[in-house]
Amino acid sequence: MRQPVTELAPAKINLCLHVTGRRADGYHLLDSLVVFAGVGDRVSVADGPALTLGISGPEAGALGPDADNLVLRAARAMGPGTAALTLWKELPVSSGIGGGSADAAATLRALARWSGQPLPDAGAVLGLGADVPVCLAGRPVRMRGVGEDLTPLPALPPLWLVLANPRIPVATPQVFAALTRRDFPPVPDLPPAALRSASDLADWLAIQTRNDLVAPALTVAPVLDAVQSALQATPGCLLARMSGSGGTHFGLFPSDASARLAATTLAAAFPRWWITPAPVLAA
């Protein structure tokens, strides 16, 4: 009997997200700097008589173990086989931090470790979703194209995050449908000066980059404007911005202590929001 295996499915954070075009098949072309937070879901694999999925955790109520669940789809992409899969759901759904894609990537990693099978080819991984390749990489990268073009970023300065979500799911297709322009300029190259400190990186991001999905996301969920304002106003916040297509916003902080203080302050003011501090994971 094989020993159970567990993999973290960390939250994916788009430090910036530029929409640079649209392919003939409807897929949008993106340019994004992506990092991962030290908080996420967990996927476990153990022996079982069939391929099954159990879901638990504080955010489990929004999901069901149906056949289209990304964890099961990822397991089937590994080939025929049986396993008992368990998903501990910590991240809110439809929240712009790659929860489902991170779960799929963690499933692939866990099954590969557990079974000794190779990972699926790049095309099969991308077929699970545009964010699955970057979540499988699991390190700071520049992501371009429809999610398939990944370039590792140089070593970033130590960074800490506060993630805030108002518990209103934001559907990615609705946000992209509300875009009025799809040909924004790409992300500039990251200069060495931006890597000297958390403050330098935050300043560069604020001046040189953006998230092109903010305006359409606000038409879908106007409350996101309040999330942005509240996070930006927390003590020590260097930069506040929406991640992905929303509705999670992140704040960048220079230390663990400042992030924890800001999260405590924010949670006291908005007790119904999902709020958590976390470090940015290194490469």
**What CATH number is attached to the domain comprising 165?**
3.30.70.890
Mean pLDDT score of the chain: 95
> What pLDDT does residue 2 have?
87
- Please check whether residues 145 and 11 belong to one and the same domain: yes
- Please check whether residues 170 and 113 belong to one and the same domain: no
> What pLDDT does residue 1 have?
73
Structure tokens at 150: 């990944």
> What pLDDT does residue 62 have?
78
> What pLDDT does residue 67 have?
58
Q: Name the domain boundary from 151, 180, 209.
A: 151
Catalytic residues: 12, 131
Per DSSP (E only), the strands in 2-135 are 5-22, 28-46, 51-56, 83-88
Task: Identify the helix (H) or strand (E) that includes residue 175.
Answer: helix 172-177
> What pLDDT does residue 65 have?
63
Q: Which residues of the chain have pLDDT under 50?
A: none
Q: Name the domain boundary from 107, 125, 151.
A: 151
- Please check whether residues 71 and 185 belong to one and the same domain: no
> What pLDDT does residue 204 have?
98
Q: How many domains does the chain have?
A: 2
What pLDDT, in 10s, does the model give residues 115-152? 999 999 999 999 999 999 999 999 999 999 999 999 99
What is the model's pTM?
Answer: 0.95
What pLDDT, in 10s, does the model give residues 99-122? 899 999 999 999 999 999 999 999
Q: Which residue has the tokens 């927390």?
A: 234
